[in-house]
Amino acid sequence: MDETVLSTEEFTSKKMTNKLIQQIQDPLVLASGALPPWCEELNSSCPFLFPFETRQLYFNCTSFGASRSIVWLQTQRDVSIERTRVTGLSQRRDDSHEFRVGRLKHERVKVPRDGDKLLAWAKQVMLTHCDHKSILEVEFLGEEGTGLGPTLEFYALVAAELQRRDLGMWLCDDDEVDSQPPTLDLGEGTKPPGYYVRRSCGLFPAPLPQNSAACDRAVSNFWFLGVFLAKVLQDSRLVDLPFSNAFLKLVCQGDIQNNINERIGMLPRSCDDDPMISSIMSEESEKELELDPPKLYSEETKPWFAGILKETDLMAVDPVRARFLRELRELSNRKQRILSDPVLSPDAKVRALESLALVTSQAGPVTRLEDLALTFTYLPSSAVYAYTHADLMSNGSDVDVSIENVEEYMDRLTDFCLESGISRQIEAFRAGFSRVFSLSKLRAFTPSEVRLMLCGDQNPQWSREDLLNYTEPKLGYTKDSPGFLRFVNVLLRMTGEERKSFLQFTTGCSSLPPGGLANLHPRLTVVRKVDAGEGSYPSVNTCVHYLKLPEYSNEEVLRDRLLAATKEKGFHLN
Known catalytic residues are: 543
Query: What 3-state class would DSSP assign to 106?
Result: strand
DSSP of 493-562: H--HHHHHHHHHHHHS-SSBPTTGGGG-SSPEEEEE-TT--TT---EEEGGGTEEEE---SSHHHHHHHH
DSSP of 209-245: -TTSHHHHHHHHHHHHHHHHHHHHHHTT------B-H
For helices 447-455 and 52-62, the axis angle rounded to 10 degrees is: 60
Distance CA 500, CA 491 (A): 11
Residue type, 549: L
Q: Are 248 and 254 contacting, i.e. CB atoms less than 8 angstroms apart?
A: no
Output DSSP code: residue 458. Answer: S
Question: Which conformational region is residue 287 in: left (phi greater than 0), alpha (psi within -120 to 50 degrees), or beta?
Answer: alpha
Q: Tell me if the bond preceding 522 is cis, omega within 30° of 0.
A: yes
Query: Whose CA is closest to 8, among 267, 320, 289?
Result: 267
Question: Could you tell me how many helices (H) and strands (E) the chain has, helices first?
Answer: 21, 10
Query: Whose CA is closest to 167, among 188, 197, 193?
Result: 197
Q: Are 496 and 541 contacting, i.e. CB atoms less than 8 angstroms apart?
A: no
